[in-house]
């Protein structure tokens, strides 16, 4: 090894010698603020010691927008020995420095890389008083350090620190300095001018200088020349800069776009912005004398937090004129249209478009490829980017950025896929996709219950383009099924047909509707928001229903769905939600909770009013709002001094139950245009109105005081800010900062507070928040059941992560939440953003839940013994994360959540580099992580529930739908779920199967659509009674929308059962809609499924939705409840049943076929084969009563054994 190390070291040194010099990477260790931007060599060496050579020979500097200093017109200073600096006070026009990064050129000679660095500058003298002696030090560093191959060189000889004696300046005598130069004369001509000069006296405790520090002198006796300005109206001004009308008065008002009077606005001429003419009063009015009517000069106004606006002057009379100036709120840039992902082949061209708005309107756009800024001169882009003659290097992500004086914003990234014409985008060979077979279909050749039906890869094709330079492509093409083959699966006693994907190809993509459904109700008692207004951004799109339900169709190309709920009855606070949705189509269910508006209290406008914030029992308020006297105004600016009705509703994060009622998603846009998270310490909504007229009131500057003792993280004290919610974008925008203050309470107690100020105008929802940059991602997956098969993952599940803050003394019992995030699972699970910490594993914890269609999924148990294989996270990392399910200590609690420590992974520890927590910059690794990597898990609790489709379809991914006559769902845009309620009288729970075949359509008659198995559920209120909600295929049009098929449905309990009752309404309906199926077999029930959507009176439950799982969940909830509009998870077997069967308990010792198959599959299958020949007793098929014309139709049905004999499940059946 020493020899090898020596060879490697020699190669490194020779490589450096051969080089002609090398530029370092770009460094950015400081950000503009305070005095400016400083990228000094000393600071860069401190952070990146091994990446900078000892003696750089050159330096380059650019802004982070990739512009040179001279291009942005800024004054900067930089050299290779000291580094870079930009001072704000040196910039022209009062501008501030941009954010710069620098790089250095290192010489090729290795000797310049090795040994000591240059000595740093001497430190300041240790003594500062005049006439004293002290010491100075300076330091240097050895560059043969660790971190590269050069670490093998010997250490540098000598010392790294030097000291010397220093003397301070002798104490000066108190005497004046020389006089400075005279200032310019205050007048350029005429009399009365003055000029000034100054001198200074050194500070000294011993003596003072005698005399004055300044002198004034008269100046400029030159006569002024005559003014040559000609005025059509009025006379020239004294300085001859314009025309004035001394007897004319300009009257004006300043108001907002909403009509609110604006006080304290600066009024000036548009061409002379520094010359203040007037300020608006509390009514927004101003008066200016001397401005002529009909003047071509525009009057301008500017006010804090508003954009400058101009207005022309209109004459009212010979002596007065009028101007109205309308100001618009400064609005941070926001994206209206994001660039669209596209697919092209080599040699084609493409155009990406981006549209960003704001006040003022952003004018400069930047485009990035894979995060690197593209050169504007090379690509000549504006709001759109055009790429020609594409090659493989052009592939990747593209996003735009726009900036204004208010801020910046970045669009979401669009993906460009560049395809080689010789390599097909869509492979004809399908991928493996396994479906689970029924329990009596064990496959000997694969030794499993799974069968590969194949699926086409999730890929997009280029397609045919009429114009490749459009912002949006016309028709998208995807890799989809081109051909399917029918195969037979041999089961115990019957053959099961199945269709498999045989060939894939490119075709127009399927675009199902994207929906968000849910219910809006009160957070305290569940009272629904009845007929509440729903806004999408600023546009009203509809109302909630009587039960608070709503459905929102997501507009195409939406990246961020911002929805506002407004209660017209004023019971609830206006609530803004940012909903996650499944971009591939289908519906996502959201349970929206609303904060009840606080009962109003009376305030006296002429007195100081204090309103507490926070009402958690046994806790001090988080803070308070202090409203000074005379702070209330009407919208027209008139002061209001009467009784004020005030409603202040505070959402306290110390109560974890309030998290569901929080508005927005606690994000803001930082200075670089990136979405950045906030950690909240409380939100409050404020409403003020007049007692008599109920008209809304506004306030001037009020004070918000926050108790600093409640902030447990010290760095949060300096970063705490006040924020207001922009209801159109759902983003929080900064209102102001806090300043520390101490207040004495009593003789000895002194409390620390944070004080901030805000004005309550249009926006009424505020936040006490801290930006937090300690971020990670958490990987979560959802599964069909607790077997956690990789091919049985659930998509469209809403995973919610709530960040919790442990309180001192109770690290395992967090009480306060800080933020929340929700993400919808895709094919590879979900990655949720979260706060995390690398120092303390329990500095941040999280509470994670999963819901689908209103159903809560179950988390993996953590007691009585923690099973890493089930949780999905290996040891020892799992112990560090402290995984606990919600019922860990109390079995009576729900099992639908888990809590973990958000310990940031240590990249030097191999046990922590494979998930489930990923560093924030590793989002791509989290999203692409294989199913074998660590992840947390949820699963659906389904006891013996099974679904089989002849044409495979993954209900959580609507793009897997295939148009086929035997498809269970005939239309991918609308899914109709049908259920029949079957009551079972018997001491056990029994499996009930529905067998669904074509009934009346000539293309499908007698062919199997699919099977459904469902176990009956006990009715806890009725002895020996259970019921099953069994899905069957609805009758209706098939996928070609040509003819209706009445599905032939057979309901078969899997036990020693016989039919005892049929719902009279259902029997009557079937009799009135022939043909009617004869039911000679009392162990089953067969019908041609109704075409009409019958209700609970028939025992049939039908729900139509754009999401199949949501339709089924709603139908099951109604079936359990036995009503047509209710929802329950407790089975009520006495209500809304269609069929009743009575089942007998098996003899003691005789297990069911399913139990025997699970325990001894080989022995059971052998026994079944042996008994199939001799003991088989076949019944005749069910018959169909003729149509009135005499037409008679016969359908094959499964054969059954008599209930009295020994029953064997899976007997021979008619081939499909």
DSSP secondary structure letters along 194-232:
EEEEE------SS----S-SEEEEEE--PPPPPP----S
CA angle, corner 1069, sides to 1022 and 1057, nearest 5?
40
pLDDT value of residue 145? 56
Each residue's pLDDT tens digit, 349-394: 999 999 998 888 888 899 999 888 898 888 899 999 999 999 989 9
Give the Cα separation of 805 and 800 in Å (integer).
16
pLDDT value of residue 668? 87
Q: Which residues of the chain have pLDDT under 50?
A: 1-19, 146-153, 808-814, 1147-1149, 1173-1216
The one-character DSSP state at 773 is -
Nearest to 1061, CA basis, from 1031, 1099, 1017:
1099
Give the Cα separation of 423 and 418 in Å (integer).
11
CA angle, corner 570, sides to 565 and 572, nearest 5?
55
Strand partners, 321: 250, 315
pLDDT value of residue 1205? 34
pLDDT value of residue 1061? 92
Radius of gyration of the chain (CA): 39
Beta strands in 854-921 (DSSP E): 855-856, 858-859, 884-885, 897-901, 917-919
pLDDT value of residue 889? 85
Give the Cα separation of 985 and 1098 in Å (integer).
19
Helix H or strand E encompassing 704? strand 701-707
Q: Is 657 helix (H, G, I), strand (E, B) or coil?
A: helix
CA distance readout (Å), 183 to 180, 213, 1204: 9, 14, 120
Q: How many CB atoms lie within 10 A of CB 463?
A: 18
pLDDT value of residue 3? 39
Q: How many CB atoms lie within 10 A of CB 309?
A: 19
pLDDT value of residue 961? 81
Please, are residues 752 and 764 in contact by the beta-carbon 8 Å criterion?
no
Q: What pTM was computed for the model?
A: 0.68
The one-character DSSP state at 854 is T
Each residue's pLDDT tens digit, 184-217: 887 777 677 888 888 888 776 656 788 888 888 8
Checking DSSP bridges between strand 539-543 and strand 533-536, what pairing results, if any? antiparallel
Tokens 């077979």 correspond to what residue?
437
Q: Which residues contact 1014 (CB under 8 A, 6 or more apart)?
A: 944, 945, 991, 992, 1028, 1029, 1030, 1031
pLDDT value of residue 205? 60
Burial class (CB in 10 A: 0-12, 13-18, 19+), 371: exposed
């Amino acid at each position: 090894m020493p020899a090898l190390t020596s060879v490697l070291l020699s190669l490194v040194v020779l490589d450096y010698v051969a080089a002609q010099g090398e530029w370092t990477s770009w460094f950015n260790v400081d950000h503009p603020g305070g005095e400016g931007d400083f990228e000094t060599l000393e600071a860069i060496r401190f952070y990146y010691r091994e990446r900078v050579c000892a003696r750089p020979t050159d330096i380059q500097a650019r802004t982070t927008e990739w512009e040179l200093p001279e291009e942005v017109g800024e004054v900067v200073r930089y050299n290779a020995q000291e580094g870079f600096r930009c001072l704000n006070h040196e910039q022209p026009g009062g501008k501030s420095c941009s954010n710069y990064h620098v790089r250095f050129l290192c010489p090729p000679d290795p000797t310049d890389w090795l040994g000591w660095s240059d000595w740093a500058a001497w430190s300041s003298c240790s003594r500062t008083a005049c006439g004293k002696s002290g010491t100075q030090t300076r330091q240097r560093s050895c560059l043969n350090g660790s971190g590269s191959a050069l670490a093998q060189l010997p250490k540098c000889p000598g010392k790294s620190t030097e000291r010397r004696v220093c003397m301070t300046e002798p104490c000066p005598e108190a005497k004046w300095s020389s006089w400075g130069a005279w200032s310019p004369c205050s007048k350029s001509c005429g009399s009365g001018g003055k000029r000034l000069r100054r001198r200074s006296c050194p500070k000294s405790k011993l003596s003072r200088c005698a005399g004055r520090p300044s002198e004034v002198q008269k100046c400029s006796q030159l006569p002024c020349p005559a003014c040559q300005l000609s005025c059509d109206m009025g006379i020239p001004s004294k300085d001859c800069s314009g025309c004035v009308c001394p007897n004319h008065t300009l009257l004006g008002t300043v108001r907002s776009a909403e009509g609110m009077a604006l006080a304290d606005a600066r009024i000036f001429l548009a061409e002379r912005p520094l010359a203040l003419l007037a300020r608006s009063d509390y009514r927004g009015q101003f008066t200016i004398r001397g401005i002529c009517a009909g003047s071509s000069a525009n009057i301008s106004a500017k006010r804090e937090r508003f954009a400058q606006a101009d207005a022309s002057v209109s004459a009212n009379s010979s002596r007065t004129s009028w101007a109205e100036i309308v100001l618009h709120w400064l609005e941070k840039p926001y994206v209206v249209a994001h660039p669209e992902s596209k697919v092209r082949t080599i040699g084609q061209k493409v155009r990406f478009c981006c549209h960003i708005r704001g006040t003022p309107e952003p004018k400069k756009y930047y485009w990035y490829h894979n995060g690197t800024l593209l050169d504007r001169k090379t690509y000549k882009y504006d709001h759109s980017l055009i790429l020609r003659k594409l090659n493989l290097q052009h592939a990747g992500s593209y996003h735009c950025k726009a900036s204004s004086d208010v801020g910046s914003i970045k669009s979401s990234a669009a993906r460009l896929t560049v395809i080689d014409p010789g390599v097909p985008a869509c492979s004809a060979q399908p991928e493996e996709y396994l479906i689970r077979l029924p329990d009596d279909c064990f496959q000997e050749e694969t030794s499993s219950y799974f069968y590969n039906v194949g699926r086409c890869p999730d890929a997009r094709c280029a397609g045919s383009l009429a114009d490749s330079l459009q912002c949006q492509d016309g028709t998208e093409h995807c890799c989809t099924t081109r051909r399917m083959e029918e195969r037979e699966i041999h089961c115990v006693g019957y053959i099961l047909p199945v269709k498999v994907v045989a060939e894939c190809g490119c075709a127009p993509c399927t675009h199902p509707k994207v929906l968000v459904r849910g219910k809006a109700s009160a957070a305290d008692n569940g009272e629904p928001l009845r007929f509440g207004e729903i806004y999408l951004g600023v546009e009203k799109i509809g109302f909630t229903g009587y039960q608070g339900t709503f459905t929102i169709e997501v507009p195409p190309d939406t990246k961020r769905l911002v929805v506002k709920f407004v209660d017209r009855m004023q019971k609830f606070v206006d609530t803004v939600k940012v909903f996650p949705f499944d971009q591939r189509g289908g519906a996502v269910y959201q349970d929206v909770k609303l904060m009840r508006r606080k009962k109003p209290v009376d305030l006296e406008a002429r007195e100081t009013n204090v309103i507490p914030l926070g009402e958690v029992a046994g806790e001090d308020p988080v803070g308070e709002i202090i409203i000074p006297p005379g702070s209330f105004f009407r919208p027209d600016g008139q002061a209001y001094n009467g009784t004020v009705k005030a409603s202040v509703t505070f959402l306290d994060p110390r109560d974890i139950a309030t998290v569901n009622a929080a508005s927005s998603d606690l994000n803001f846009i930082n200075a670089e245009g990136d979405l950045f998270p906030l950690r909240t310490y409380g939100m409050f909504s404020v409403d003020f109105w007049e007692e008599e007229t109920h008209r809304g009131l506004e306030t001037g500057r009020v004070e918000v005081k926050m108790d600093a003792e409640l902030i447990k993280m010290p760095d949060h004290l300096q970063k705490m800010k006040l924020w207001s919610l922009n209801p159109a974008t759902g983003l929080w925008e900064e209102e102001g900062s806090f300043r520390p203050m101490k207040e004495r309470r009593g003789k000895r107690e002194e409390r620390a507070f944070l004080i901030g100020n805000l004005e309550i105008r249009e926006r009424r929802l505020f936040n006490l928040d801290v930006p937090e940059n300690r971020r990670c991602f958490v990987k979560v997956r959802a599964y069909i059941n607790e077997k956690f098969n990789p091919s049985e993952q659930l998509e469209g599940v809403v995973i919610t992560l709530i960040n919790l803050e442990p309180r001192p003394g109770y690290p395992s019992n967090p009480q306060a939440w800080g933020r929340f995030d929700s993400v919808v699972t895709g094919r590879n699970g979900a990655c949720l953003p979260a706060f995390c910490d690398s120092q303390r594993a329990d500095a941040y914890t999280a509470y994670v839940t999963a819901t689908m269609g209103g159903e809560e999924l179950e988390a993996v148990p953590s007691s009585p013994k923690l099973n890493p294989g089930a949780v999905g996270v290996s040891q020892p990392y799992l112990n560090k994360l402290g995984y606990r399910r919600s019922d860990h200590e109390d079995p009576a609690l729900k099992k639908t959540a888990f809590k973990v420590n958000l310990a940031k992974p240590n990249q030097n520890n191999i046990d922590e580099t494979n998930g489930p927590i990923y560093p924030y910059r590793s989002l791509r690794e989290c999203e692409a992580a294989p199913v074998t990597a660590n992840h947390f898990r949820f699963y659906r609790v389904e006891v013996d529930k099974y679904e089989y489709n002849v044409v495979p379809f993954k209900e959580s991914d609507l793009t897997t739908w295939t148009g086929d006559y035997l498809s269970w769902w005939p239309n991918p845009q609308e899914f109709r779920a049908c259920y029949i309620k079957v009551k079972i009288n018997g001491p056990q729970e029994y499996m009930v199967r529905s067998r669904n075949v074509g009934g009346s359509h000539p293309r499908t008659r007698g062919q199997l659509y699919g099977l459904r198995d469902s176990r009956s559920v006990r009715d806890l209120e009725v002895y020996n009674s259970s019921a099953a909600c069994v899905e069957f295929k609805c009758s209706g049009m098939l996928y070609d929308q040509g003819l209706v098929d009445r599905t032939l449905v057979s309901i078969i309990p899997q036990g020693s059962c016989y039919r005892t009752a049929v719902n009279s309404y259902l029997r009557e309906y079937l009799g009135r809609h022939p043909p009617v199926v004869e039911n000679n077999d009392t162990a089953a029930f067969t019908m041609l499924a109704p075409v009409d959507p019958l209700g609970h009176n028939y025992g049939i439950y039908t729900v139509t939705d754009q999401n199949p799982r949501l339709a089924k969940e709603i139908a099951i909830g109604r079936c359990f409840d036995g009503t047509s509009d209710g929802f329950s998870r407790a089975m009520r077997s006495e209500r809304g049943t269609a069929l009743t069967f009575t089942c007998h308990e098996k003899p003691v010792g005789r297990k069911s076929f399913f139990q025997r198959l699970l325990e001894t599959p080989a022995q059971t299958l052998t026994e079944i084969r042996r008994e199939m020949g001799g003991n088989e007793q076949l019944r005749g098929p069910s018959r169909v009563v003729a149509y009135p014309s005499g037409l008679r139709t016969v359908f094959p049905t499964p054969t059954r054994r008599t209930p009295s004999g020994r029953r064997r499940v899976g007997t021979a059946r008619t081939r499909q």
